[in-house]
Structure 1
Amino acid sequence: MATEVNMPKLGLSMKEGTVGKWLKNEGDAVKKGEALLEVMTDKIANKLDAPADGILLKIVANKKAKLPVGGLLGVIGSAGEDIGELLKRAAAVKAAPAAKQAETKVVAKAAAAQPGARVKISPAARALAEANGIDYTVLAGTGPEGRIVREDIEQAIASQSAAVDERAAIESIPYEGMRQAIGENMASSWAAAPKVTHHIGVDLTNLQSLRATINADVKDNEKVSVTDLLVKAVARALETHPRINSTLSGDEIRVLKDINIGVAIAIPDGLVVPVVRNANHKNLTDVSREIKDFAKRARKNKLETEEMAGGTFTVTNLGGYGSVEYFTPIINPPEAAILGVGRTVEKPVVVAGQIAVRPIMGLSFAFDHRLIDGAPAAEFLATLIKLIEQPYRIFIQ
């Protein structure tokens, strides 16, 4: 009996996914649990395993196809098995919403053709259009009552980029999947949030000393990192300044109860931000182990979508590259702020009236000015600096 391969629900908020690439061809033998294809969401690429043994009889959704959760991706069965009826049923289910969408487009085009007509567009679609120079007033929306939605803008961007650049290139990298998701999310954030960035150098002497003490009798694979300590320091500072731990929801600024710190991790195909949940309530050892586990599984593409959801603040550390001191990190929506960490450099500073050479780490704190004003942001940063320069404060109430 044939087995359907359907679009999985990879997260509570997931409504659709995009086919990345098939790892098997039609006619190939597959085994249950064997990687069959890649499915992309707006946060991560997931490898989907075969649900049964058999032959991949039919690939229904090809690369770049977008399907709702439960949509038919392909069919596994026995050699020569008749799957005609199964494909007909799938086609009928797909045709119903397609017909409705076509009808909506006709109505939307008529509305768009009326000079002076009010353009209905979602906030996310508007931000993406403005970030990419798309004139949305001439587009036909496919949303309810002709509303222009994000997918309409994405299609317009794709059409705008369709012209082939004939210049010589040493490599052509498809702008799709995770790379495209990162690009669109960052463009949307940059366009929507009026951001301000505070830059400051912080003395790392005492934090480095504390770290050395903690790691003195610890195995190499259990040593805590500067990032681990910074995550704890940020969580502590957010307890003191809860308004920084907020999000904009419609016409409300919601100050969030949970302090969930996202930690940006670079991987070969892009960037992922797994979340340390309730970081303020976890001890340093648990935070360190969790971040190490995230990093290990991120490089193997084994993170779950839910592990990258629900963040309230992000820390992104470029210090290890040794080339960046200060930068402008892009806020990870729907969060209100992000901390960028630069390299640590030995610099002469004045300490108790005397010149001394100290390790100074660059911090870049970017925040959404719709939610956070400059003074509260400066107060948060002052608290964070005190916690870093007097790190014993991180662990006392």
Structure 2
Amino acid sequence: MKEIKVPELAESITEGTISEWLVKKGDQVEKGDPILELETDKVNVEVNADASGVIAELLREAGDDVEVGDVIAKVDENGEAEGSDEDTSSDEEESEPKEKEEESNKEEESQKEEKQSSEEKKESSSKDSKDVIATPAARKRARELGIDLSEISARDPLGRIRPEDVDAAAKGESKQESKGSSKPSSEDKPKKQEKKKEETKKTEFDKPVERVKMSRRRQTIAKRLVEAQQESAMLTTFNEVDMTNVMKLRSERKESFLKKHDIKLGFMSFFTKAAVGALKEFPLLNAEIQGNEIIKKQFYDIGMAVSTDEGLVVPVVRDADRLDFAGIEKGIADLATKARNKELGLEDLQGGSFTITNGGIFGSMLSTPILNAPQVGILGLHNIEKRAKVMPDDTIEARPMMYIALSYDHRIVDGKDAVQFLRRIKEMIEDPFDLLLEG
């Protein structure tokens, strides 16, 4: 009997949550076949069988938390898949009259047909459930309540079934059952009241609440954000940028840019180029701390914060200093698509040197971004709004303005460098021709 353990995934990943089993007990597997999907704090990965044989036992269920090295299943390397015919006749059965043998055979065939029919139904139901888009918690809840996921309608706009959808479906079934039953007796009322009191006591709230287990990714996000604030001397400085010239240049070139490169010209490529230019002038913002040493990075892998249904992820655009505007825009678009389709690999998320986050797409006017440790700098962008600006000739004009923020680790970055870094970005964005030369 061969044990299947949670393998080493990456240096920084030691645990995960079983999102979905891809096999069931009795299935035949070959070495290297994917047997389950594991949700980690960064990406979802498939765990493969490291031996050929038959799944003898599944030791963990979907929704369970597991660590690297945990035994999660057992494979019988000499076993045969369920459904193979075996000769179960004995010497005693051979000595019995022919009629009894025929009756016994008929009974066995009938049982086999019933079993096969039952297995086909289960397999069909399992396939239907696998085709349904649902969270691991929803799948676990559905199993507990004995509900088929394919029969549940999701309220999520993207069609993803959540635990509350399963609970709603369960309540709907109980309501239908109660319609045909008689009214509850007076003996049932005290039990219901006691149950209600217990539920109220359990939730510790006077009014209805919903308890939802945090996903593995959300738990890790929460943990790391707190750690970033506790382990760094984080400070934020602000400035504002006049977007007039960038918006004018973008408006003039967007059609020819799209036609030539098959990608839209956005604002992120301008700010990425500006950030790279400023990092070259202020290298401590492209560094990290290891013990009592400062590691100054000689590369510019820029992390781009992307919002997904399961939380924020920061995939990395590699060697941004070597890419032109089209290359940066394509890199950002590809990473965003992979993030939303859950196709990011560990290599897409590791090794960034500096991060940019754009809260402006959600309408944020001003915020203080939290560091993406172990990085020591993060640039926050915000929405563009027309505001009154005093011009050099003392006239007042309505200009498209954006607040920008730089959070930095004050342990190695002084306030002077941080302010000048942000000022340099402002200068390059307000003079995009200078930015093009820098690029």
TM superposition score normalised by structure 2: 0.64
Query: Which residue of structure 1 lines up, in the alignment, with residue 238 of structure 2?
Result: 199
- Distance change in 2, residues 1:51/1:211 (3 Å): farther
- Distance change in 2, residues 1:367/1:34 (3 Å): same
Query: Which residue of structure 2 lines up, in the alignment, with residue 184 of structure 1?
Result: 223
Query: Which residue of structure 2 lines up, in the alignment, with residue 352 of structure 1?
Result: 392
Answer whether contact 1:30 1:50 (CA < 8 A) is retained. Answer: no
- Distance change in 2, residues 1:22/1:285 (3 Å): same
Query: Which residue of structure 2 lines up, in the alignment, with residue 20 of structure 1?
Result: 18
Other structure's SS at 2:336 match? helix
Answer whether contact 2:28 2:81 (CA < 8 A) is retained. Answer: no
Q: How does 1:76-87 map onto structure 2 within 5 Å?
A: 78-79=80-81
- For structure 2, the 5+ residue unaligned runs are 84-200
Query: Which residue of structure 2 lines up, in the alignment, with residue 166 of structure 1?
Result: 204
Q: How does 1:1-397 map onto structure 2 within 5 Å?
A: 5-11=4-10, 13-14=11-12, 16-24=14-22, 26-27=24-25, 29=27, 36-48=35-47, 56-62=55-61, 63-68=63-68, 71-75=70-74, 78-79=80-81, 165-167=203-205, 168-169=207-208, 171-217=210-256, 218-219=258-259, 222-322=263-363, 324-353=364-393, 354-397=395-438
Per-residue CA deviations over 1:149-197 (Å, capped at 9, x if unaligned) read: xxxxxxxxxxxxxx95433455432123100010001111111112111
Q: Distance in 1 between matches of 2:304 and 2:316?
A: 6
Other structure's SS at 1:330 match? coil
Q: Distance in 2 between matches of 1:169 and 1:182?
A: 27
Aligned residue pair count: 312
- For structure 1, the 5+ residue unaligned runs are 82-162
Answer whether contact 2:308 2:339 (CA < 8 A) is retained. Answer: yes
Answer whether contact 1:259 1:280 (CA < 8 A) is retained. Answer: yes
Cα RMSD (Å)? 2.8
Other structure's SS at 2:402 match? strand
Answer whether contact 1:339 1:363 (CA < 8 A) is retained. Answer: yes
Answer whether contact 1:247 1:254 (CA < 8 A) is retained. Answer: yes
Following superposition, the deviation at residue 72 of structure 1 comes to 3.7
- Distance change in 2, residues 1:18/1:30 (3 Å): farther
Answer whether contact 2:203 2:209 (CA < 8 A) is retained. Answer: no
Answer whether contact 1:346 1:359 (CA < 8 A) is retained. Answer: yes
Answer whether contact 1:275 1:307 (CA < 8 A) is retained. Answer: yes
Q: Distance in 2 between matches of 1:299 and 1:34?
A: 25
Work out which of the two has the higher radius of gyration on C-alpha atoms and give 1 or 2.
2
Give, as a single letter, the amino acid of the residue that structure 2 aligns with 1:79. A
- Distance change in 2, residues 1:245/1:36 (3 Å): same
Answer whether contact 1:45 1:177 (CA < 8 A) is retained. Answer: no
Per-residue CA deviations over 1:83-104 (Å, capped at 9, x if unaligned) read: xxxxxxxxxxxxxxxxxxxxxx
Give, as a single letter, the amino acid of the residue that structure 1 aligns with 2:81. A
Query: Which residue of structure 2 lines up, in the alignment, with residue 101 of structure 1?
Result: none
- Distance change in 2, residues 1:391/1:9 (3 Å): farther
TM superposition score normalised by structure 1: 0.71
Query: Which residue of structure 2 lines up, in the alignment, with residue 98 of structure 1?
Result: none
Other structure's SS at 2:351 match? coil
Answer whether contact 2:37 2:47 (CA < 8 A) is retained. Answer: yes
Per-residue CA deviations over 1:45-76 (Å, capped at 9, x if unaligned) read: 334467789764322344443322x6543245
Q: Distance in 1 between matches of 2:52 and 2:326?
A: 42
Give, as a single letter, the amino acid of the residue that structure 2 aligns with 1:202. V
Give, as a single letter, the amino acid of the residue that structure 1 aligns with 2:331. E
Structure with the bigger percentage of helix: 2
Q: Distance in 2 between matches of 1:294 and 1:51?
A: 31
